[in-house]
Amino acid sequence: MSVIDTTRPPSEPARQKWDTRPKLLIDGDHDLCPGCGEPIALRCMLEVIDEMGLSQSAIGAVGIGCYTALTSLLDTDMVQCLHGRAPSVATGIKRMRPQSLVYTMQGDGDMVNEGLQEIIHSAARGESITCLLLNNGVFGETGGHMTATTVIGQRTKNTLEGRDAAYHGHPISMTDLLTPLGGVGYVARSTVTTARDIQRTRRYFRKAFETQVAGKGLSFVEVLTMCPTGWFLPVQEGPSYLNETMSPVFRIGEFKVDGQIFTPGA
Ligand SMILES: Cc1ncc(C[n+]2csc(CCOP(=O)(O)OP(=O)(O)O)c2C)c(N)n1
Ligand code: SF4
Ligand SMILES: [Mg+2]
């Protein structure tokens, strides 16, 4: 075990937060809540775009949700879309600029409630874009009501008793909807609750972007993210609540790679 010598000054200065800031992040500070998972997922994506040397060609089509507040901090070209419409906007961008790396950024309320047909049709057409779903099972920005992905029993600020299938219906799984579609090349789901999961998220982003660069169809990455505010939970309970509530329903892993279908954990 290495022992730190505390009798003399350190030979190197302490690392500052700026030292680890991804190149494509303009500022290290943001206004999202403590414990929010969305900034972690977006950081993973930025790091991968930079590592792949694609920062000059990347264009984001961004939906509306808490993550929208982060876009002024991201140093890639970006188009702000109407609620739910990002995949259609991304379609137009990619068709006009086929050499660009075009990605969408949407929440569950934006993609699965407001704009479900946009992502489904873009996927079925096999648009060469990469779609990111930040799934926290709640309309975070507008106050914490449940969305189409809230799992049975999951509580939100406006429905503290949790989702009741008999009254509220059942959640929609985007990986289940997208995986069978012929136009889709890559489908994966991850989380950002542990360092291992964060590394997995980065790996999935890379494979999704590689799918786009290779022209192998639409690529889709869903990231389950903590929303302690919308779940009305203490910040530190966010990751365990996600792992106990959402992860058993929304399985983690790769569902489709190079057009071949897999069952994670099987
Ligand atoms: C057409 C339209 N309907 C409703 C809204 C209000 N609105 C803004 S953000 C939002 C919630 C977005 O939730 P989600 O996509 O899950 O993102 P989160 O805030 O959870 O990150 C809603 C309903 C809007 N801006 N435009
Ligand atoms: S309300 Fe939820 S999704 Fe929005 S910033 Fe706060 S923790 Fe994040
Ligand atoms: Mg949400």
Q: Does a structural domain hold residue 20?
A: no
pLDDT band of 2, cuts 50, 70, 90: low
Burial environment of residue 54 by CB neighbours within 10 A (0 to 12, 13 to 18, 19 or more) = middle
Q: What is the mean pLDDT of residues 42-47?
A: 94
User: Closest Cα to atom 6, ligand 2: which residue?
Assistant: 33
> Ligand 1, closest atom to CA 227?
20
Q: Does a structural domain hold residue 33?
A: no
Cβ neighbours of residue 149 under 8 Å, at least 6 residues apart? 108, 112, 135, 137, 171, 172, 173, 174, 250
- Boundaries of domain holding 120: 38-258
| Residue 104 CA to ligand 1 centre (angstroms) | 15
DSSP letter at 244? I
CB 83 within 8 A of CB 64: yes
Q: Does a structural domain hold residue 67?
A: yes
DSSP letter at 152? B
Ligand 1 binding site (Cβ under 6 Å of any ligand atom): 38, 64-67, 83, 107-110, 134, 136, 138-142, 147
For residue 167, give the CATH number of its domain: 3.40.50.970
Q: Does a structural domain hold residue 14?
A: no
Q: Is the pLDDT of residue 28 over 90?
A: no
Cα–Cα distance for residue pair 35/62, rounded to 1 Å: 22
- Say how many domains are in the chain: 1
| Residue 143 CA to ligand 2 centre (angstroms) | 9
Question: Which tens digit of pLDDT belongs to each residue from 67-82?
Answer: 999 988 888 999 999 9
Q: Does a structural domain hold residue 24?
A: no
- What's the confidence (pLDDT) of residue 252? 97
SS3 state of residue 123: helix
Q: Is the pLDDT of residue 31 over 80?
A: yes
Pairwise pLDDT comparison (237 vs 2), residue with the higher score: 237
User: Closest Cα to atom 24, ligand 1: which residue?
Assistant: 83
Mutate to test the pocket of ligand 1, among 104, 134, 139, 156 (most ligand atoms within 8 A of CB): 139
- What's the confidence (pLDDT) of residue 44? 96
Q: Does a structural domain hold residue 21?
A: no
